[in-house]
Amino acid sequence: MSAVQVAAQHEGQAPFEPWVARLAPMRPSPLELMGQPGPAASARSGSRTAVFDGVLYNRGELERLLGVQPGTSDAELVLRAYERFGADVLRHVKGIFALALWNADERSGLLAHDPLGSYPFFYAENGDELLISTSIDALLTCDGVSGEVDRAVLADHLCHRWPDRERTYFEAVKRIPPCHAVVIEPSGRRLWRYWDPAPPGEPMDWVAEDELERFGELFDQAVNRCLGLGPAAIYLSGGFDSVSVAAVAADNCRTQGLQAPLALSVAFPHPDCNEEPIQRGVARELGIDQLMLNLDDAVRPTGLLQASCALQAGRSAPMLSYFAPPYLQLAEDARARGYNAVLTGGGGDEWLCVTPLLAADLIRAGDVRGLVRHAKSMQRSFNLPWWTVWRNALWVFGLRQLVGATVGSALRRVAPARLEAHRRRAAEAPVLDWVAPDPELRDEMTRRNLDAWPERPKDGWYRHDLRNGLDHAVTAMEMEEFFENARLTGVRTLCPYMDPDLVDFLYRVPPELLDKGGRAKGLVRHELARRFPELGFDRQKKLTAVSYSRGVVLEQGERAWQGSGGAPTLAELGVIDQKAFEQELQAIVSGRRDRVFHVSDVLNLEAWTRSRI
């Protein structure tokens, strides 16, 4: 389907206004929207009700399949599909959406969103009612829903741990994770995984080399689906992911007569991460307009850390990156020029790259040639010293994984108590000295992390890490942040590389084909090198902003800490020991400690928590 066809189906889509619906699982009462429905719509047929918010990609297919007339509302179309297919309806609905389906007579139903969570979905209990919404804040305004923050989630956030993917930063509100639905039955409710590119324990349906041409078709479809939702800008860095999106988007807009995309670029003032020549070169070659914003200019006069803290206030969750200020400013500039969507290369690193844990599988299989090929590809593709690459391949992501699994299996058989003690020590180890001074809170953190302790990979470390890319709480949180940004700016953030049909394909491309040509991202590298021969994509290595980020924290951290008045809110909650952290801060800025990013973590979390208490 072309972008023009998608646009015709979804002309006049409502904005991302929050809404709340409720149902009573223990009573034969209907599912109903409360107050202003915003963009959500409902449909009813007998005892069955559907609430739908989002975009259907396959409306025409569903209309033909169900024998309904064009123009049927999305909610009614989904309800008809539910009547026909029951819970299997989720296999037949394609798009980005949140939906609720309820049969009041049978007291059964489904709560689900699109497989990768482009539309977030949350729920909270209020007595015998279940309240559902795409907005955490909308749920918190409901009578009976507590706004108390979850201290253990806050403390684990500072340790970069999110053990429970269903938990949000509020005690009363849970999320439905990507790939999952909540099934409601008279006996209760349960979480059900309804989308899985490669179920554990089943043979992997690997993509053959002669099937790789499907990548271009699916990528084109994914970009078209995004373009169909209105004039689109593109966050254009100098990396493969966003450049590949920009190239396909520019071509498709030109051939389909759509408004040309607008390139939105941030110039980083550090040589290690400055991609401005490539950003300008790509925009010039594609013949598209470009807004280039210097990062330092975007955060004057306060600096990046304080500008990031200012953005935390009032959001439903702490922002994951403190680089958000310039990108949100660019989104607002794009909106002022008539663009209502921004495409990103998000997901490219996850699905175009080979996870380094492949090394463990290669060592276990005795595949020396494969291990050498994998390490050389990493060496050609990333700015890492050769000895770091080989240490990672042989030990960090290789033998250490095998040794740990072997020792764990042995202890499970002969000394389960020692294994349990080892796991407890490992669960406690990442908790920093100044985090969770309250023993009760520390115990809760340990308990949650033990409950989420990963089992030994049954299908190998490579497949296990791929699955983690779908299941990790941060994956959901990133999509939720994009969705909330859309509410704030009026501009959707869309990720073609997170399109389920494309992810399903890339998930099953073997590592040697992902690294085709001996370098990472081989599926797009060759085409971009051909398209932009002067920009060096054939030999480009991954750039990171680590050096720049460290410099920002060392330069601005102490000033931002003093300007914010410290972290009294986190201290009062027992999430940090403020005096101990101040000692840590002094050790960091003086160069005696290397944990510089703890400073930005605490500053941003304090700014968020202060706005919610």
Give DSSP secondary structure letters for 216-250: HHHHHHHHHHHHTTSSEEEE--SSHHHHHHHHHHH
pLDDT confidence of 6, banded at 50, 70, 90? very low
Q: Cα separation of 152 and 442, whole Å? A: 8
Q: What is the mean pLDDT of residues 338-354?
A: 96
Tokens of 49: 């009700």
> Could you tell me if 350 and 240 are in contact, meaning their C-beta atoms sit under 8 angstroms apart?
no
Q: What is the enclosing helix (H) or strand (E) of 23? A: strand 20-23
Report strand pairing: 290-294 vs 262-267: parallel
pLDDT in tens, 269-317: 988 889 999 999 999 999 999 999 999 999 999 999 999 999 999 899 9
Q: What percent of the chain has pLDDT over 70?
A: 98
Number of H helices, E strands in the chain: 27, 16
Q: What is the enclosing helix (H) or strand (E) of 54? A: strand 48-56
Rg of the chain over CA atoms, in angstroms?
Answer: 25
The whole-number pLDDT of residue 2 equals 52
Q: Report the Cα–Cα distance between both ends of the chain, in Å, rounded.
A: 47
pLDDT in tens, 316-331: 999 998 899 999 999 9
What's this model's pTM, rounded to 2 decimal places? 0.94
pLDDT in tens, 24-60: 998 888 899 998 888 999 999 999 999 999 999 999 9
Residue type, 127: G
Hey, CA dihedral for 375, 381, 387, 389, is it positive or negative?
negative
Q: Cα separation of 173 and 123, whole Å? A: 6
Q: Cα separation of 297 and 329, whole Å? A: 11
pLDDT confidence of 117, banded at 50, 70, 90? very high
Q: Cα separation of 285 and 287, whole Å? A: 5
Helices (H), ranges, 429-510: 439-451, 461-471, 473-489, 500-507
- In the numeric block, the tokens 């003093």 are attached to 562
Domains of the chain: 3-193 (3.60.20.10), 209-347+477-510+524-539 (3.40.50.620), 351-473 (no CATH), 547-612 (no CATH)
